[in-house]
Amino acid sequence: MKKLTVILIINFIFAHSCKQEIKMTDSNVIITPPKAKKIPKELVIHDDVRIDNYYWLNDRENPDVIDYLTKENDYTKATLKHTEAFQKTLFEEMKARIKEDDTSVPYKLNGYWYITRYEKGLDYPIYLRKKESLDAPEEILFDCNDMAKGHAYFNLGSIAVSLDNKLASFSTDIVGRRQYTIQIKNLETGEIYSDKITNTTSSSTWANDNKTLFYCKKDEVTLRSDKIYKHTLGVNDTQDVLVFHEEDETFNTFVYKTKSRKYIVIGSSSTLTSEYRFLNADTPNDDFKVFQKRQRELEYSIAHYDDRFYVITNSDHATNFKLLKTPETHTEMKYWEEVLPHRKDVLLEDIEIFKDYLVVNERENGLNNLRIISWDGTEDYYLPFDSETYTTYIGNNPDFDSDVLRYSYNSLTSPSSVIEYNFKTKKSEIKKEQEVLGGKFKKKNYESKRVWATARDGVKVPISLVYKKGVKFDGTAPLLQYAYGSYGSTIDPSFSSIRLSLLDRGFIYAIAHIRGGEYLGRDWYENGKLLTKRNTFYDYIDCSKYLISENYTSAKHLYAYGGSAGGLLMGAIINMNPELYNGVLAAVPFVDVVTTMLDDSIPLTTGEYDEWGNPNNEEYYFYMKSYSPYDNVEARNYPNMLVTTGLHDSQVQYWEPAKWVAKLRELKKDNNILLLHTDMDSGHGGASGRFESLKEVAMEYAFLLDLEGIHG
């Protein structure tokens, strides 16, 4: 099944009051927020006129734009200056819980054990391997700490090792705009070849001849991944061969090798439709063959094993997907045979294939399940889990012949564990549990539970809660309510050592599993997009009202948080019910929905039509306009707010939150805080260093805690 992933941001920052002056709490200094100039621009479509006074902010090359963003950053810093010591305390506290000299659980692939290591005081990982035995000498593949030197931002996207284990293709991004450069390293000599391929996605894959590399290029303007190329080692990339061009602007394309190593696969996907092509990895100069021709709203994904492909698909109205199989020589849909049927109440999310067993990742009533099925039909059972606030998922299992399944487990109160389950002995072994250092964390000191709010249309919406024991449910506890609610992306309840800094100071943390995600199955997603998108916002608001009515918190102590599409959620709920929230954290928020969706030159826009609708269609335009946060800002009171963005963000352009804050400053009638922070060195994911990102979180937490009068 095509998984719609969305990068969820943990670094949310803030925006400040408009016309009002703010007096610092520890001095008599008066600071005044910056005011963006107004240059009216008339936007007309469907005989509807919108006036955008801040449209000019969409030019990052304009010195006036950079000047305005810089002034907003200065204002944020000045407004939060009295919290700087507290921010440092929070940073050191969060950092102290993290095991700095940490190592991943090794996994074996093609004769080598691969390991990721972090060293004390360093921000970036070190990738290494050992041949055959864990006692063998280590080979450093990539030390990202060295590679990051001289760069304000650095990300090693992915590594692909050739079948003969001698070469590695790797990708780097030094801007944060997710435009990667692919290079090739000789793992025997350490030489980095002159091959340098720019403007790519992060991934690449080797054919079995150890000299042919397939990769995906992006459109220079829209950043849509639209072309698959074939590169031959040592040949200038200007000579690379275009093997596939995805011309449909609503689709993106990608390339990978099957776990069996037999096939190179090109995938094309949109929100509602997918299509695959495949090629024998031994013969990279042959033509790709279409697996099953695309059909509108037909989604499928493929895995290869033995002489068959296994297909997860929604064909024949299988809303929650089903598992089929087909001979590798006859892959068209008419040859597909059922392995696992569609079930109304069970969402089939993923599979993992081993020589003797099939592992199925399912979701029922919002909860993850791992199902074990033997190929000979003698066994079919589930691994036991006994919580309602846990997350489990299939881990890295690259070896077909293994008798061991590696999976991960954590809950709102239990740190993440990597577990190996032996199919033959039926025993599990915890290979590693996340260490929470500092000596203060005890699982027994925290509680979690799942409750159900009733939405205005009668639908029950689940909420996962975590808090420290002893919190009183009398309406006085501060509560941070998080949600996302788009693209079918499910926000599972997971552990966070960083979050302890809120819980230990009396905060309750809530995840509202609202429509627009797939927590309760595919229908949960279908009823939270396009012309039902308002359900997402209503669900969040109704969850807030439930939490207040049940005395978990009150409007004086309720805080809302969302990022990216979840930032759109924040913008919508404060236009609809601002009185419910004392504060809001909106990270890289997608708030200027109509203008962005009308501009098909902006990265990702055309691929979003099946999620939000195409506003060139009048019905979608007016529905979208009815909830677009930027278009619905009014002269009214708004909560305290912190808004964040990145100058190089390719997912949500920086000017959306910048314009939104400028308009809020112009119209808001309250004296509440409104802060905008722009990371001038990063993109959608924020700072690249693991500890640099903690500094941002510390500022965010200090903002929340300060609003509660908590300063230590």
| Alpha-carbon torsion, ordered 70, 71, 74, 78, to 10 deg | -170
User: Contact, 635 vs 616, CB < 8 A?
Assistant: no
- DSSP letters for 533-580: THHHHHHHHHHHHHHHHTTS--TTTEEEEEETHHHHHHHHHHHH-GGG
Query: What is the rounded (10 degree) CA torsion for 601, 525, 464, 91?
Result: -10
- Other beta carbons less than 10 A from residue 234's beta carbon: 10
Please name which of 697, 688, 587 lies closest in space to residue 152, comparing C-alpha atoms.
688
Reading the block at residue 711, the tokens are 């300063």
3-class DSSP assignment, residue 412: coil
**Residues contacting residue 688 through CB under 8 Å, at least 6 positions apart:** 123, 124, 148, 153, 154, 155, 176, 682
Whose CA is closest to 566, among 553, 543, 545, 585? 585
Number of H helices, E strands in the chain: 12, 39
| Tokens 């791992």, residue located | 370
Cα 311 to Cα 1: distance, rounded to the nearest angstrom = 8
Q: Closest Cα partner for 139 from 97, 168, 171, 181?
A: 168
Biggest alpha carbon–alpha carbon distance for the chain? 78
CA distance 49 to 594: 12
Query: Cα(164)–Cα(522) distance, rounded to whole angstroms?
Result: 42
H or E element that contains 87: helix 84-96
Active site positions, annotated: 564, 649, 684
Picking from 216, 1, 202, 10, the residue whose alpha carbon sits closest to that of residue 686 is 10
Q: Which amino acid is residue 233, in one-letter code?
A: L
Hey, what are 643's tokens? 């808004």
Q: Are strands 107-109 and 112-117 parallel, antiparallel or unpaired?
A: antiparallel
Tell me the CA distances in angstroms from 269 to 34, 259, 294, 304, 479, one per residue in order: 43, 20, 9, 19, 38
Gap between the terminal Cα atoms of the chain: 47
Question: Which stretches of 221-321 are assigned E, i.e. beta strand?
Answer: 225-232, 241-245, 252-257, 263-269, 274-280, 289-290, 300-305, 308-313
> In whole angstroms, what is the distance from residue 267 CA to residue 275 CA?
6
Q: Are 347 and 366 in contact (CB under 8 A)?
A: no
Which SS3 state, helix, strand or coil, does residue 29 take? coil
Cα distance between residue 678 and residue 14, in whole Å = 9
Distance CA 69, CA 704 (A): 23
Cβ atoms of 33 and 75 closer than 8 Å: yes
Angle CA(603)–CA(255)–CA(260) in degrees, nearest 5?
Answer: 155
d(CA 637, CA 633): 10
